Amino acid sequence: MPPVISIAKLSKVYGTGHQALSEVDLEIRRGEIFALLGPNGAGKTTLINIVCGIVTASSGRILVDGHDIATDYRAARKAIGLVPQELTTDAFETVWATTSFTRGLFGLKPNPAHIERVLRDLSLWDKRDSRIMTLSGGMKRRVLIAKALSHEPRILFLDEPTAGVDVELRQDMWRLVRGLRDQGVTVILTTHYIEEAEEMADRVGVIAKGRIILVEEKVELMRKLGKKQLILQLQAPLSAVPEALTHHHLELAASGRELTYTYDTQAEGTGIANLLADFAAADIEVGDLSTRQSSLEDIFVDLVRTSA
């Protein structure tokens, strides 16, 4: 199946001379949840804004559902719903009016039943006649999502959707995003919260300094780059790692009651059997064992550091 979005050699230099994107190549698969991870200023928002038509690319080509965003912008933009990062709303409008307005902008006939469904899904139905300026920040965020969904997009961009959002809304949003994916909507979200990507994404792209440094299946990424740790709870505390065990590169923690062994699941051998044998030989009693996988966050920090 052809990709739903294909970006080729995309570069952007702003008027100030700042190079926001350099030769970005990226393909988004139909129906996936794609997380674009990167620190502030990495080029995430610029990338989204170019695809959506808000910023003009300096060079490169973008196809959305086969439509060139420059020459066939109507068809390309029709497919896309955008939830921007900033809470930019028409303060004096009602929730209902602003949501219906967006639908009209995208060339669709009014459909009160659809608008009602969207507002109910986002717990905005009771607020439909409220002016936006009377709403809380979280509610405004919901309004922006409602606007983006009002025109039934096949691709949804969420730019930092959960920045400064409470737990309840975050969970609502994740539920909503999964629901959309089940309906076949492609979702692209940017975030610098790793847990969000870890929780939601099918694939992860990492961007730093305007370059895509990695695109990978989330599971694959975590398997490939993820180190595992074996934590051994000791019966009796140790003051130092015994001589016989130093070649295992153990770390002593929890006032000498815990030893941590780091291993690579992809390596030829994990060394766990040898480790445990050495423990027995050194007569160290182990009370409990647990393993821990490094999070996407650790991987991400590593990647951005090495590419910098």
134 makes contact with other proteins (CB under 8 A)? no
Quote the tokens at residue 17: 């001379």
Indicate left, alpha or beta for 238 from its phi (over 0: left) and psi (-120 to 50: alpha): beta
Residue among 150 and 250 whose Cβ is closer to other proteins: 150
Q: Identify the burial level of 280 via C-beta atoms within 10 angstroms of its C-beta, where 0-12 means exposed, 13-18 middle and 19 or more buried.
A: exposed
What phi and psi, each to the nearest 5 degrees, are found at residue 47?
A: -60, -50
Angstrom distance (rounded) from CA 308 to CA 295: 20
Residue among 62 and 230 whose Cβ is closer to other proteins: 62
Tokens 């294909």 sit on residue: 6
CB 131 → other proteins: shortest distance, Å?
Answer: 10
Angstrom distance (rounded) from CA 289 to CA 115: 53
Choosing from 2, 41, 59, 73, the residue that interacts with other proteins (CB under 8 A) is 73
| Cβ(130)–Cβ(94) below 8 Å | yes
Q: What is the DSSP string of 162-184?
A: TTT--HHHHHHHHHHHHHHHHTT
Choosing from 28, 43, 44, 77, the residue that interacts with other proteins (CB under 8 A) is 77
306 makes contact with other proteins (CB under 8 A)? no
Residues 142-201, interacting with other proteins (CB under 8 A): 147
Choosing from 3, 39, 53, 271, the residue that interacts with other proteins (CB under 8 A) is 53
Stretch that binds other proteins, among 88-96, 160-168, 184-192, 266-274 (CB under 8 A): 88-96
Stretch that binds other proteins, among 75-83, 195-203, 245-253, 287-295 (CB under 8 A): 75-83
Indicate the DSSP class of residue 237: -
CB 73 → other proteins: shortest distance, Å?
Answer: 7
Q: Interface with other proteins by CB under 8 A: which residues?
A: 14-15, 52-56, 73-78, 80, 82, 84, 86, 88-93, 97, 100-109, 147
